[in-house]
């Protein structure tokens, strides 16, 4: 598999700035695993308040980045792309652990493997590392749900001026 750049990632995920947390996919094994990266920069909006004197990436966003990588893996495994008729929801976290802070300049390596894959609820094991050291890890549960596509508002007749 060739690496997937940001344009390809945006075909798989509905997330957009400032909440798109996957910058590149390095490896993807259909139905098995994905390796992706998130480049952490001082320009991230959360660093303004977390923390002004010592910027640290929030742990919950590391877990979200792992879930987004799981979403790409799931859509690819299903042979689908993100669209307005479905949403890939994050529905659970087990065993989340945070081992080291992630700071601007770090490159977060996201490794996610499928533990169980089903349309109802799929389970993944995710590990986020920086320079080979574990920053965060967790088991994630996600589900793909069909949703009503957004409706266009009905046109109202133009009023005379």
C-beta of residue 154 within 8 angstroms of C-beta of residue 133: no
Question: Distance between CA atoms of 114 and 37, rounded to whole angstroms?
Answer: 18
Query: Given this model, what pLDDT does residue 161 score?
Result: 45
Query: Given this model, what pLDDT does residue 158 score?
Result: 53
Query: Given this model, what pLDDT does residue 155 score?
Result: 60
Give the active site residue among 15, 30, 50, 53.
Answer: 50
Residue 15 is a catalytic residue: no
- Read out DSSP for 90-135? EEEEEEEEE-S---TT-EEEEEEEEEE--SS-EEEEEEEEETTEEE
Residue 19, SS3 per DSSP: coil
Query: Given this model, what pLDDT does residue 159 score?
Result: 47
Query: Given this model, what pLDDT does residue 154 score?
Result: 63
CATH 3.40.50.620 is the classification of domain 6-146 = no
- Parts of the chain with a pLDDT under 50: 159-161
- pTM passes above 0.75: yes
């Amino acid at each position: 598999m060739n690496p997937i750049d940001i344009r390809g990632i945006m075909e798989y995920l509905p997330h957009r700035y400032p909440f798109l947390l996957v910058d590149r996919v390095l490896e993807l094994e259909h139905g098995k695993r994905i390796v992706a990266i998130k480049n952490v920069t001082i320009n991230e909006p959360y660093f303004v308040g977390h923390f002004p004197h010592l910027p640290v990436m929030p742990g919950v966003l590391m877990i979200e980045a792992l879930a987004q990588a799981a979403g790409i893996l799931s859509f690819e495994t299903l042979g689908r792309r993100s669209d307005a008729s479905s949403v890939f929801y994050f529905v659970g976290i087990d065993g989340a652990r945070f081992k080291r802070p992630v700071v601007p300049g770090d490159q977060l390596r996201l490794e996610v493997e499928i533990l169980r894959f089903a349309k109802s609820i799929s389970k993944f094991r995710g590990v986020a590392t920086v320079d080979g050291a574990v920053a965060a890890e967790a088991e994630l549960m996600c589900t793909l749900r069909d949703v009503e596509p957004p409706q266009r508002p009905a046109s109202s007749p133009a009023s005379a001026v």
